[in-house]
Structure 1
Amino acid sequence: MAAASPYDLVVSGGYIVTETAVERKDLGIVNGTVVDIAAGIDPAGAEVLDATGLTVMPGVIDAHVHFNEPGLGSWEGFRTGSAALAAGGGTCFLDMPLNGIPPTVTAEALRLKRDCAAGSAYTDYGFWGGLMPGHLQELPLLAEAGVIGFKAFMSSPGDDHKDAFRRSDDDTLREGMRIIAETGKVLALHAEHEPAVSRLTREALRRGETGAEAYTASRPVGAEVEAVETALRLAAESGCRLHFVHISSAAAAGRIREARRAGLDVTLETCPHYLCLTDKDLAAMGAVAKCAPPLRGAGEQAMLWSILREGWFDLLASDHSPCPPELKAGPDLFTAWGGISGVQSTLELMLDEGHLKRGIPLPQLARLLSGAPAERFGLAPAKGSIAPGCDADLALVDLGAGYTLQTSDLYQRHPNSPYVGRTFGCRVEKTLLRGRVVYSRGEGLLHHPAGLECSPVYPGAVNIRM
């Protein structure tokens, strides 16, 4: 009688992407954890998932999403947002403290958010806390309660609800950074200089200009750079660890790179929409392509691809910021909701535009999409890579399966996406969360939501749960 397999599951015949290589090997998985990577693993009775001809990537860890719970019933939600992430090869999301009501700026608000997510997420997840005026005393409590880190806005978040998240002025940032530095956690920043943006917006509206060109001009690269420089200066004073979200310009990325070379603990991300869309797309598509900072010109986009290839960016994230469709209606781009819904398309966009069209190596993309966010935000070594001891969080992709995205393909609550009608050169075939298939093309979502909250572990950070 043949010996029983030591594995529960064998993923066989795929091209396994680690952070250093792409090799045709098998994965041996036990209790949802990768225990073996080798050629010719004998399944000996274990369940077999045939990945022949497919590329096996680490599941995407999307460190920047807005799933809008609690309090915004007609908006996205954890169930639909995580479903879209899973359908796009994602296995973990980190949810921002806005736009839910209340925003996650107190320990009680975090509890409410946890209650919403429990049993509703198809993928694993974590939560950002918020740095906001009037709530500085809550920062240590949120750190103790297990948030991934903190998020602050240096420009207006754009929500006029009386209880909505608000921007932080320099004094709030200075004191908040001092407190966050003591926790050891990271402060993520939306960096646009509010005085400049407000002035340029007023001038455009005074002229009666509300279209794409006027909106883009109201949020210039200079406003991003000025905010970045202010934040870097404050972080140097406090020793706070920083992460800049959705950097849209090479100039801002360059300032951050210089600060890191000078010894500051700082990282930065960009988003697929800055790499795959331009201001011309905003003009053609309207509000579905509105975001802040805005889409830039083709020349700026080319520079972003260049510096990404050179390693300036630490990670990629979707900044999935959906809303009900009526908030994207009308020609006035100043009043339309600012946010791009792209969580389902991140991996396919980056594989298509980055690897298939530009030759960026798969290990580099795996690092940007999975390994780096796991390390920066305390999820490694359990998450972020394909290696013995890691969770078997996997995206199986057919790099030769071209298709055109239709609204019927989208799993998010409102099928608004600037990528509908776009042809991709690849397609996610299956997504595995801890060794279990949660999405399969043709079958859709499988099983009930079984995502778990991840507990961040930072060296020297406070990680005590309340």
Structure 2
Amino acid sequence: MKLIKNGMVFFEGKLNNYDILIDGERIVGIGEFNPDGKEIIDATGLLILPGGIDMHVHFNDPGYTHRETFKTGSMGAASSGITTVVDMPCTSIPQVRDVKSLHEKLNVISKESFVDFCLYGGVTGEEVRKGEFSKLKEQWEEGVIGFKIYGYSSAPTYERVSYGEMKELFSFASDFDALFTIHAEDFSLVDHFTRLMLKEGRKDALAWIQARVYEAEPLCIWASSRIAMEEGVRLHIAHLSTGEGGIIIKERKEEGAKITVETTPHYLLLSEEDLLRDPIKVKTSPPVRGEWDRETLWELLKDGIIDAIASDHFSANWEKEKLKENIFEVGAGISGIDTIFPLIFSEGVMKGKITLKRFVEIISENPAKIVHIYPRKGVILPGSDADLVFIDTKRKWKIKGESFFSKGKYTPFEGREIFGKVVKTMIRGEVVFDLEKGFLVEPGFGKWIKREY
């Protein structure tokens, strides 16, 4: 058995100097215990929180390993306090759109991951038009946590789902409580204004903002959430960027919709001015928005309307995909897995924007509940996996992309001062990462965590 002593532990909504007793992979006790015969982990001066769950990453593996691999991406996760990641189905070869491709992907990434992982299943307009709904149910029964769909898709091989197809899809899935996570941008608006920018020969950063027009997200959220309400399915809004979209979600929740939403550090901390100043590092979709949107997202996060924080980590190859003069050719996506936990802890908790309790909810507890792995994950409780993050709250440091373990060694947060440093990450009772000793397990330690209910 292991016994963690002398740390300040977040347990049942408050901090206290508890011991944590671990037997194998699980927590078996929280309180005060006799240390005799146990392996002692001294956490003097450290804050101990549940491991973070990043419910939106693109690790591009297999198929696009010049961008990222599950090994490097999961190293970035472990180093920053993330103990479970949820990987998307659309940025790998093969894409995960049936059970066969799911297991082809698993055969590769299961040998690589340092952290535990869940997987999304995939469905596009193509499957709906062909009536291939059995693929959906088979993936669900295999243990995927939900399905990724796009209102507007930049990937020609992973088609969007139109509103008509969405209604048919949601109707089919309503009898097995499936979760659909949507990239919410309205196709007609984005397609029209993208074509207009290209016709005008625009290459500048402002053209990206004007192509991914503001109204596209609120409109898609309104329509998709209305369809989800009518059909009775769970809908999760990915990477919320607009305050107006957040207000619509608030109204839907008040109406009783089964809707949840995540936002990302870049939508909370960056604005259009940052994109215009540094388009290569800041370009993503949807684009970062205005100051009112940033402030509104913080308020929605504090008030419990925004349920979760995710990184939407996507690492494009710097030389081949990022260094372009034409904004439409610059690889979209922000490298965020190495910084998600410390950024929001520092900017949110340490600067007083949100409480520690709220931080634990958005980074651990709520993501686990949304993807149906709670209380195995996302909480410090007897019976839960011993996924723990040890933080030195007195330590200050600056973000440097060159020090990232992921392949995305560029960041729009370069040089930002952070208050609070992750010094140790434990997964299922094993210390995976130690700031002084490095990684203490081998690739493949991370397990596939299937949806539990």
TM bracket (short chain): over 0.9
CA deviation profile, 1:417-466 (whole Å, cap 9, x unmatched): 222322211111000001110001122211202111112123xxxxxxxx
Deviates more, 1:210-219 or 1:449-458: 210-219
Q: Figure out how many residues of one structure are paired with residues of the other and give that number.
A: 446
Q: Does 1:208 align with 2:205?
A: no
Could you tell me which residue of structure 2 aligns to residue 331 of structure 1? 325
Measured after TM superposition, the shift of residue 94 of structure 1 is 0.8
Could you tell me which residue of structure 2 aligns to residue 77 of structure 1? 69
CA deviation profile, 1:184-209 (whole Å, cap 9, x unmatched): 12000000011111212222233333
Could you tell me which residue of structure 2 aligns to residue 453 of structure 1? 448
Q: Does 1:372 align with 2:366?
A: yes
From 35, 45, 50, the counterpart of 1:43:
35
Q: What secondary structure is seen at the aligned counterpart in 1 of 2:236? A: strand
- Identify if the C-alpha distance between structure 1 residues 73 and 50 changes in structure 2 by more than 3 Å, giving closer, same or farther: same
CA deviation profile, 1:235-293 (whole Å, cap 9, x unmatched): 12211111111011121111112112111111111111111222222122222211111
Q: What secondary structure is seen at the aligned counterpart in 2 of 1:452? A: coil
From 160, 180, 197, the counterpart of 1:167:
160
Structure 1 residue runs of 5 or longer lacking an equivalent are 1-7, 459-466
Q: Aligned partners of 2:172, 2:452: CA distance in 1, in Å?
A: 18
Measured after TM superposition, the shift of residue 19 of structure 1 is 5.3
| RMSD, matched Cα | 1.4
Could you tell me which residue of structure 1 aligns to residue 138 of structure 2? 141
Q: Aligned partners of 1:23, 1:279: CA distance in 2, in Å?
A: 41
Q: Match for 2:30: what amino acid?
A: I
Q: Match for 2:433: what amino acid?
A: Y
- Identify if the C-alpha distance between structure 1 residues 113 and 434 changes in structure 2 by more than 3 Å, giving closer, same or farther: same
From 357, 361, 370, the counterpart of 2:355:
361
CA contact (8 A) 2:2 2:23 kept: yes
From 390, 397, 400, the counterpart of 2:394:
400
Q: What secondary structure is seen at the aligned counterpart in 2 of 1:119? A: coil
Measured after TM superposition, the shift of residue 360 of structure 1 is 1.6
TM-score in terms of structure 1 length: 0.93
Q: Match for 1:405: what amino acid?
A: I
Measured after TM superposition, the shift of residue 359 of structure 1 is 4.3
Q: What secondary structure is seen at the aligned counterpart in 1 of 2:394? A: coil
TM-score in terms of structure 2 length: 0.95
Q: Aligned partners of 1:280, 1:19: CA distance in 2, in Å?
A: 41
From 407, 415, 418, the counterpart of 1:421:
415
Q: Aligned partners of 2:436, 2:274: CA distance in 1, in Å?
A: 31
Map 1:250-329 to 2 at 5 A.
250-325=243-318, 326-329=320-323
Q: Aligned partners of 2:108, 2:172: CA distance in 1, in Å?
A: 28
Could you tell me which residue of structure 2 aligns to residue 430 of structure 1? 424
CA deviation profile, 1:311-363 (whole Å, cap 9, x unmatched): 11111111111121121112322221111110111110011100111242111
From 93, 96, 99, the counterpart of 1:107:
99
Deviates more, 1:202-211 or 1:141-150: 202-211
Q: Aligned partners of 1:419, 1:207: CA distance in 2, in Å?
A: 32
Could you tell me which residue of structure 1 aligns to residue 109 of structure 2? 117
Deviates more, 1:100-109 or 1:432-441: 100-109
CA contact (8 A) 1:65 1:320 kept: yes
Q: Match for 1:113: what amino acid?
A: K
Q: What secondary structure is seen at the aligned counterpart in 2 of 1:411? A: coil
From 10, 33, 41, the counterpart of 1:17:
10
CA contact (8 A) 2:25 2:428 kept: yes
Q: Aligned partners of 1:298, 1:261: CA distance in 2, in Å?
A: 26
CA contact (8 A) 1:260 1:266 kept: yes
- Identify if the C-alpha distance between structure 1 residues 99 and 374 changes in structure 2 by more than 3 Å, giving closer, same or farther: same
CA deviation profile, 1:117-141 (whole Å, cap 9, x unmatched): 2121101111101120222421111
CA contact (8 A) 1:132 1:152 kept: yes
Q: Match for 1:427: what amino acid?
A: K
Q: Aligned partners of 1:12, 1:105: CA distance in 2, in Å?
A: 46
Could you tell me which residue of structure 2 aligns to residue 97 of structure 1? 89
Q: Match for 1:193: what amino acid?
A: D
Q: Does 1:440 align with 2:423?
A: no
CA contact (8 A) 2:425 2:434 kept: yes
CA contact (8 A) 1:19 1:366 kept: no
Q: Aligned partners of 2:297, 2:279: CA distance in 1, in Å?
A: 23
Could you tell me which residue of structure 2 aligns to residue 3 of structure 1? none
Measured after TM superposition, the shift of residue 42 of structure 1 is 2.5
Q: Aligned partners of 1:220, 1:140: CA distance in 2, in Å?
A: 35
Could you tell me which residue of structure 2 aligns to residue 179 of structure 1? 172
Q: Match for 1:145: what amino acid?
A: E
CA contact (8 A) 1:191 1:244 kept: yes
Q: What secondary structure is seen at the aligned counterpart in 2 of 1:94? A: strand
CA contact (8 A) 1:15 1:22 kept: yes
Q: What secondary structure is seen at the aligned counterpart in 2 of 1:400? A: strand
Q: Aligned partners of 2:209, 2:189: CA distance in 1, in Å?
A: 13
Could you tell me which residue of structure 1 aligns to residue 231 of structure 2? 238
Measured after TM superposition, the shift of residue 380 of structure 1 is 1.0
CA contact (8 A) 1:19 1:367 kept: no
Q: Aligned partners of 2:103, 2:202: CA distance in 1, in Å?
A: 43
Measured after TM superposition, the shift of residue 216 of structure 1 is 1.4
Structure 2 residue runs of 5 or longer lacking an equivalent are none
CA deviation profile, 1:370-417 (whole Å, cap 9, x unmatched): 101111111011111011111110111111111112233200023122
